[in-house]
Amino acid sequence: VLLGAPGAGKGTQAEKIRKALDIPVLSTGNLLRQAIAAGTELGKKVESIIDGGNLVPDELVFGLVAERLREPDCARGVIFDGFPRTIHQAEALDKALAVDVVLDLEVPDDVILHRMSGRRICPNCQASYHVVDNPPRVEGVCDKCGAALTIRHDDQPETVKARLEVYHKQTEPIKEYYRAQGKLRTVQGQPRLSDTVRLVSEALGVAL
């Protein structure tokens, strides 16, 4: 489980861990955005909730997660990015499967605001970039698939502030929940991506 505020760098680290362990990343954010893009009834409900900077109700998230876990590529394990987000979700996850380790990425709020205002996302393959810290080779174009990069609504400053408030209130208590189980490992996010990767590698005991 990757734990950290919106914009802490969970997605970037998840991709590196995925390559090292050869297991899929299960990002509830991506699952929810796919539902929105598809224009389904669930997607419409989710869109109005996310636009307000709020957490999507557990029952909607559980349905998406359970569906994804049934796919064959999850048989050897998964990396959870953005889930669980509440104590209730953490307890439910413990009943469904065994969590091996929880990696907490700590990044100050002001740094997150800088990161997210410059974040660009590929709408096709979901690759993530930053105009200053992690730019694509060609400005505005995804390195992986060549699609035009976009700015997500939930990366707008006011939405980011609302999401950070929700995180501190509802998600941060999960740290103590997992610390009590002896599964929590904390990494301080560094200005240089390579330094953060090194610390994550040491925390997990996995070569990244």
User: Which amino acids are annotated catalytic?
Assistant: 10, 85, 119, 152, 163
E strand residue ranges, 73-195: 79-81, 102-106, 119-121, 128-130, 184-188
Non-local CB neighbours of 34 within 8 Å, separated by 6+ positions? none
Cα–Cα distance measured from residue 130 to residue 155, given in angstroms and rounded to the nearest whole number: 12
Task: Output DSSP code: residue 57.
Answer: P
Number of Cβ atoms within 10 Å of the Cβ of 167: 20
Distances (CA, A) of 144 to 93, 123, 132, 134, 166: 32, 12, 18, 14, 32
Cα–Cα distance measured from residue 96 to residue 116, given in angstroms and rounded to the nearest whole number: 32
Cα–Cα distance measured from residue 61 to residue 31, given in angstroms and rounded to the nearest whole number: 9
